[in-house]
Amino acid sequence: MQLQLKKRQEKNPKFSLRSFARLLKTDPSSLSKVLNGLRIPSDETVEKWVDCMKLTPEETEQLKGVVNGANSFNPLNSEFFESTYSWVHPILLETLKLPNATRNMSALADLFGMTEEQIQKTIEYLESHKILHRSTDNGNYLPSNLTTVTIPYTTELRRGLQKKYLEMAQKALEEVPMEKRDNSTLTVAIHTDDIPAIKDIIREARHRIHRLAEKRRHQLNAVYNFSSALYPVKEEIL
């Protein structure tokens, strides 16, 4: 949607957000939330906007792809997760979204401490499980938007993954310049009845970051990890 707004502003510098909202026959504040990744439009709304903007089939497919990508997380099969999943997989899947990611297999190998042959076999393995596929248009890899939310945190492998991300966060704390990362903590007294609400806030933060990334899915240039940890420092007083 931002791309469509920008195109119109390039033709007419006076074309404002309100002008765009009038074209789409929608509320300016609602449109603003969509443009800023704070709201995902329904399929019916997208269809209406497509008609209003008179988009080409290619533009229509691109717009629907962004919306569907922002609104869909495919549950990872629990059996597959327990038997074969590795910390390498989510990072590799996201890295393959970057332009020309596979043109420098040696860099990928160095990133994961693997050989180029092992990287290629991992890619082929993910393809065979339909977690990764090639675009028919340009041959680029198209990873699925996967989530492990459906898999219990108590599984040994999932705990191992979380520990690995903590190790990577510690390494980044020492090696990555402050302007390229963010590390912050909040220690606060709460009522334990609010824990579900706090988890919802954290979950929504993850979704908002994902939606923000999807808005620029054709301009990606880095892979970041956002991890969170909520735990008791002082146990509940009965």
Q: Which residue has the higher pLDDT, 199 or 70?
A: 199
Give the pLDDT of residue 2. Answer: 75
What band does 213 get if pLDDT is binned at 50, 70 and 90?
A: confident
**What does pLDDT average to over the chain?**
80
Q: Once rounded to an integer, what is the mean pLDDT over residues 210-230?
A: 87
Determine the average pLDDT of the residues in 196-214. 85
Report pLDDT digits (tens) over 116-155. 999 999 888 888 877 777 776 666 777 666 554 444 444 6
Q: What is the pTM of this model?
A: 0.60
> Is residue 112 predicted with pLDDT exceeding 50?
yes
Question: Rounded to 5 degrees, what are φ and ψ at 20?
Answer: -65, -45
Q: Is the pLDDT at 221 greater than 70, yes or no?
A: yes
| 75-80 long-range Cβ contacts below 8 angstroms, 24+ apart | 75/146, 75/147, 75/149, 75/150, 76/146, 76/147, 76/148, 76/150, 76/151, 78/150, 78/151, 80/129
Mind listing the pLDDT tens digit for each residue in 156-186? 767 778 888 899 999 999 999 999 999 999 9
Q: Spell out the domains of the chain, with CATH numbers in brackets.
A: 2-71 (1.10.260), 74-147 (1.10.10)
The residue ranking higher by pLDDT, 53 or 138, is: 53
Q: What percentage of the chain exceeds 90 in pLDDT?
A: 27
83 pLDDT above the threshold of 70: no
Give the model confidence (pLDDT) of 18-44 as tens digits: 999 999 999 988 888 777 656 778 878
Say what the pLDDT of residue 143 is.
Answer: 67
Between 62 and 21, whose confidence is greater?
A: 21
Which residue has better confidence, 36 or 57?
57
